[in-house]
Structure 1
């Protein structure tokens, strides 16, 4: 027999608990490493065209054999736990008798034994693989069975499972984060699930039903059962409580492994109150809520959970078409609209999931609370979802739809391990009047809190600000939801009219070929010519050349990249050959370009094939010369206020003309990931705007409108929502802000701290918006 007992003995001096379970059976253990190799060999034994193999990959045909082997290992360990429980119940099952362990089909009158056997039968799709494992690897199986028996015989361990979600921890340990992200498996911390369960009024009536429509390992189900048992812990009639739980707490999931795990979690939480000789089924079902009609004729009073956050881009074309058809049931839309809604910003399908489960499964006046991506309430791509929530659907054959009754905004806090996102809890109710204003709760992590482990937190670790939020119209057919915090109520434009004074724009775009336009080194030759080396960019290695053909300096400008920008400071290390179509008349006509810039045209002619193959050039600029790039004359203005399009904060800097011995005095050109406001020759106005944009008040407002950390956080359209007062030379506050910005630039350049001057600016900005 393999010597896993020695590995177990190493842990025997410590307690038998969740930690030692993960140590013994998790991804670093010898049991796992051996088990994975065993299942890899078994998988390879079955032909990929066989029924057994096709059944195994039915969840996701794209899974590789390594992942399938881990899934089989995971199931085998959980099955071993159930066999251990069966052994405790059935004393005739001998832990030393291998056949009595792997063959568990004996008849029994005991309710517990029947449910154990039924639960094991749930995983018939992997039965051929497990049976082959049992036949060929007796030593390995007996070793881990014997260790598992020690765990299930330990009452303290079984009690710990009731408190902590062991199966979630085990799954997270075994499966790589990249895979879970692709499969939209974002597991909810127990304390967050508990908070959402506590927020619901469920449990006050013994006739209400609840549903977790994407139950995963059963975290929400576990919390529901715990809540009802705690509420009625003094009740001596445990059969009544058991009946209520079984008849009221339901779960769905599309993944058979999740259903199996959730059922086991469910079982462990009712194990001690199962009546003798009572037949029942654990109400967790394998179901795709998008496809299947309800197999149980039930509606629910409460729906809670954490739906799949699957990116639209990760769906098959079949599923895209299928989901688009579903979306059309709820909104006057079309495939193009749906594709735009979800594909434009790589959004997930959780918004459609919210609508679908509410319409199919929620009772009239029933409530739904789901953990969602914040982009659903303020992302451009999700305007159709908000339109549904605000105005409802226009199809007469469907029931009255759900309305928002509250939003909880988790702010900058990241509740999910290894997943960066902006998270909300969206609370809705079926059959109530729609309102354009509703409660909004902002979460803020209390100071000095250690966030190294989000699993150990509680709602008490947060400050909760209760305010309201509005639907704000931002176009003829579009709206966003914005909270009415004290800080942003004056700042955010609550009309559909855009600012008439200040407009932001994106920088110059080479349309996918930076290596052709960006240059790193320039050297003087004769007259108005320079030699240069291309910027070493990963996009096109073949263009990494030192060009012997000199080019004219007229079109060479300093380049401001996003990496060059910080608050109050910028650096320069790159140049760009600026051939924007709206820059100079000579650029738009090749014959004039050749006459004025013959050397530059020779350079572009050498890489003409690369330039004309740019997708955006083919789509938009076919009637223009092949060397054209996106840009305009604003980009060469004397003064610009610039900031990064991507980031967690808007941090701006004033950029003016720079003198260079080889190309002369020129204004740096911002790249496309830099956003800028052109103030022309007005130096004071540029610094006034820079102070406003760098203020806490401005950043607070942008964070309410946009999602920090995303690619669209600092896009030009933020000025569509924020009313920056027009600069007035006679306004003392405006002048003070401009002077403070000039001083902050000097202080930052010297390497010193700008905190004091920023505090003064924050007070001044509040005054100009008051």
Structure 2
């Protein structure tokens, strides 16, 4: 039996039907009744759910097309594609979670609020659901009163606990009928209960929605909250991690994976889902997911990960990283896990290819994956060959710089106000806010004169390349180096600076509170994550997003304003910062972070869109010492790279020094170079 709990247009279901038909062609004797047995097997063994009515319609249509030549062999059929919420239905209708509510909510776009309140006991069994929906559909059709409907219902197996709830539901549906809002609602109720009674499946497949918790509709967040708690997919994260909120829910596909394995999978069955690779390799986003333990202590084992990201299977895919993961119910994870990396032999041409054609057009590299920390099995997975994992295991460790690394400044959605272009006009500094940067249509472009007291060179991710940093724009930061976390009192700011900020006060004061940042009061003009490290005269930065390139780091110091003053460069939140005591220390760190061994470690466990402060928990960069010859040489090479370009010999020297500082031999450093070239 095969289930797709988020079936969309039915792609996986149609493939499952094709597989059953192929089996019939090869072994027709396995299907008693010939074609009649075939279509009965399909209707019994291929099931889909989706919460979107249009998706269900498309899926049913494609399902029907796939069996159109077989329909004549049977009488009336019911397509096993249901308009149902495969995640929240257990929460609403079963005793899986404790609920004091006597009613459960069935989505209904025609009512306000958009759901029907169905007495919970209706979902006691498939029989009670069928009896209830058939009877209410009949009662509405022939025009029975609510009392007459209840009299008939009392003769069924439905146990009526509170007549009031049945009367309210019946009257709501009668009003929909009288308003001409069609009469499908009884069937919608029946569909909604389907996930409870379809049974368990040998295979659960699909491409569950990749939707971040924060992007879910508020109503659905409320409905699914109990499920997140039940599956222990929420809660604080250990240690000093960026996403430390007790409500650190992430992608809804994580929840669907756990629900599918727990509720729909038979013992020994398998789940095969298309998932974002980040849930295996993100430092924070997949932490709870990587417990791989279901309620009651039942284990969920990862059997195989097919890393298909390089094939770019989705049109318009930008930052999403795709994989196909296969899980087995009741198994225990045995590390390392098989990880197969697919790469196209040439640029993708056709949009749709069969699996056989994809195999011929791709190379498949067999790798292994295991938690990067041997003591924290929920830590991100590191991926590589057996030899690479062994080599890197000896090089992993926490850097002393992990205690001081920080993120750059964050405007909390007001880039369009604080990010500026600057120029001179008749000896005056004129600034224009980059209104479109904040994606806030209420921000209007304004050009005003301003003092240079709180204007700084702005460094953004795109301004940083390997060893190089070139600020192109400017930023207004009304904070002081002596007390950076809070803004300067508004009345103490220079006159023109106050006038500029006042132009945007309604927008700035309406920004959302975040941790210790609250712009609703007197600090409405401030920024978030302005720290001592931000004002450091020497620092090294690296890009959080560095697709296909690993770590991209550069040493930075000061930059000239249009009026000629040298000011400290200010990195934004897409850059990580290590404050340094000297130029030499910054060059040393840039050299180490750009080295082959650092990049092999980082690219083996981190996704390219999440190379943030956590890398110093994994790469044991030693603290700089001006007395250490290797440190001094690495700093010299970093400076040469910043001011010009390194020769091939100097690049090799830089990487071999970094490898030696991590305790690797010259031979192992050579292996690092070879392995990195294969990535």
Task: Give TM class, smaller chain.
Answer: 0.5 to 0.7
Q: How many Å separate the matches in 1 of 2:517 and 2:326?
A: 43
Q: Does 1:532 align with 2:434?
A: no
User: What is the deviation of 1:729?
Assistant: 5.3
Q: Does 1:252 align with 2:150?
A: no
Cα pair distance change 1:276/1:259, threshold 3 Å: same
209-218 or 757-766: bigger deviation? 757-766
Does the CA-based 8 Å contact 1:262-1:284 persist in structure 2? yes
1:620-635 to 2 correspondence within 5 Å? 620=518, 627-630=525-528, 631-635=530-534
User: What is the deviation of 1:413?
Assistant: 3.2
Q: How many Å separate the matches in 1 of 2:659 and 2:289?
A: 31
**What is aligned with 1:24?**
none
User: What is the deviation of 1:229?
Assistant: 4.4
User: What is the deviation of 1:613?
Assistant: 4.8
Cα pair distance change 1:763/1:440, threshold 3 Å: farther
Q: Does 1:508 align with 2:413?
A: no
Does the CA-based 8 Å contact 2:458-2:474 persist in structure 1? yes
SS in 1 for 2:226: helix
User: What is the deviation of 1:422?
Assistant: 0.6
Does the CA-based 8 Å contact 1:213-1:305 persist in structure 2? yes
Q: How many Å separate the matches in 1 of 2:74 and 2:659?
A: 71
User: What is the deviation of 1:459?
Assistant: 2.8
Q: Does 1:418 align with 2:279?
A: no
Q: How many Å separate the matches in 1 of 2:84 and 2:484?
A: 62
**What is aligned with 1:45?**
none
Does the CA-based 8 Å contact 2:342-2:362 persist in structure 1? yes
Q: How many Å separate the matches in 2 of 1:448 and 1:523?
A: 50
Structure 1 unaligned regions, length at least 5:
1-208
**What is aligned with 1:716?**
613
Does the CA-based 8 Å contact 1:641-1:689 persist in structure 2? yes
Does the CA-based 8 Å contact 2:228-2:249 persist in structure 1? no
**What is aligned with 2:369?**
469
User: What is the deviation of 1:328?
Assistant: 2.7
User: Alpha-carbon deviations, 1:582-624, whole Å to 9, x = none?
Assistant: 5359987749x84xx6556654675584555544499447787
**What is aligned with 2:639?**
742
SS in 2 for 1:633: coil
User: Alpha-carbon deviations, 1:76-111, whole Å to 9, x = none?
Assistant: xxxxxxxxxxxxxxxxxxxxxxxxxxxxxxxxxxxx
User: What is the deviation of 1:371?
Assistant: 1.0
**What is aligned with 2:557?**
656
SS in 1 for 2:422: strand
Q: 2:15 aligns with which of 223, 237, 241?
A: 223
User: What is the deviation of 1:415?
Assistant: 0.9
SS in 2 for 1:222: helix
User: What is the deviation of 1:230?
Assistant: 4.0
Cα pair distance change 1:441/1:311, threshold 3 Å: same
Does the CA-based 8 Å contact 1:406-1:438 persist in structure 2? no
Cα pair distance change 1:602/1:382, threshold 3 Å: closer
Q: TM-score, normalised by structure 2?
A: 0.66
Cα pair distance change 1:382/1:633, threshold 3 Å: closer
Q: How many Å separate the matches in 1 of 2:73 and 2:44?
A: 20
Q: Does 1:237 align with 2:29?
A: yes
CA-based RMSD = 4.4
SS in 2 for 1:323: helix
500-509 or 450-459: bigger deviation? 450-459
Cα pair distance change 1:310/1:513, threshold 3 Å: closer
Q: How many Å separate the matches in 2 of 1:589 and 1:661?
A: 24
SS in 2 for 1:466: strand
Does the CA-based 8 Å contact 2:544-2:576 persist in structure 1? yes
User: Alpha-carbon deviations, 1:331-364, whole Å to 9, x = none?
Assistant: 2858999xx8999899531111111122122111
Q: Does 1:301 align with 2:97?
A: no
Does the CA-based 8 Å contact 1:300-1:362 persist in structure 2? yes
Does the CA-based 8 Å contact 1:246-1:282 persist in structure 2? no
Q: Does 1:564 align with 2:463?
A: yes
User: What is the deviation of 1:317?
Assistant: 2.4
User: What is the deviation of 1:688?
Assistant: 2.9
User: Alpha-carbon deviations, 1:99-128, whole Å to 9, x = none?
Assistant: xxxxxxxxxxxxxxxxxxxxxxxxxxxxxx
Q: Does 1:353 align with 2:256?
A: yes
**What is aligned with 2:472?**
573
Q: How many Å separate the matches in 2 of 1:639 and 1:766?
A: 25
User: What is the deviation of 1:445?
Assistant: 0.9
User: Alpha-carbon deviations, 1:552-594, whole Å to 9, x = none?
Assistant: x554433223332222323233334443355359987749x84
SS in 1 for 2:310: coil
User: What is the deviation of 1:478?
Assistant: 6.3
User: Alpha-carbon deviations, 1:52-95, whole Å to 9, x = none?
Assistant: xxxxxxxxxxxxxxxxxxxxxxxxxxxxxxxxxxxxxxxxxxxx
Q: 1:319 aligns with which of 179, 196, 220?
A: 220
Q: How many Å separate the matches in 1 of 2:254 and 2:274?
A: 10
Q: How many Å separate the matches in 2 of 1:320 and 1:476?
A: 29
Q: How many Å separate the matches in 1 of 2:82 and 2:484?
A: 67
Q: How many Å separate the matches in 2 of 1:435 and 1:729?
A: 46
Q: How many Å separate the matches in 2 of 1:510 and 1:212?
A: 42
Q: Does 1:667 align with 2:565?
A: no
**What is aligned with 1:482?**
382
User: Alpha-carbon deviations, 1:280-323, whole Å to 9, x = none?
Assistant: 65544444323235464532122222223344345332221111
User: What is the deviation of 1:248?
Assistant: 5.7
User: What is the deviation of 1:754?
Assistant: 7.4
- Compare the two structures and name the one with the higher helix fraction: 1
Q: How many Å separate the matches in 2 of 1:587 and 1:400?
A: 49
Does the CA-based 8 Å contact 1:324-1:334 persist in structure 2? no
Structure 2 unaligned regions, length at least 5:
90-192, 665-679
User: What is the deviation of 1:680?
Assistant: 1.9
Q: How many Å separate the matches in 2 of 1:341 and 1:308?
A: 24
Cα pair distance change 1:559/1:274, threshold 3 Å: closer
User: What is the deviation of 1:542?
Assistant: 5.2
Does the CA-based 8 Å contact 1:744-1:754 persist in structure 2? no
Q: How many Å separate the matches in 2 of 1:230 and 1:328?
A: 42
Cα pair distance change 1:475/1:609, threshold 3 Å: farther
Q: TM-score, normalised by structure 1?
A: 0.59
**What is aligned with 1:520?**
421
User: Alpha-carbon deviations, 1:661-718, whole Å to 9, x = none?
Assistant: 84533332222332222222142x322322332345434443444432x4xx232223
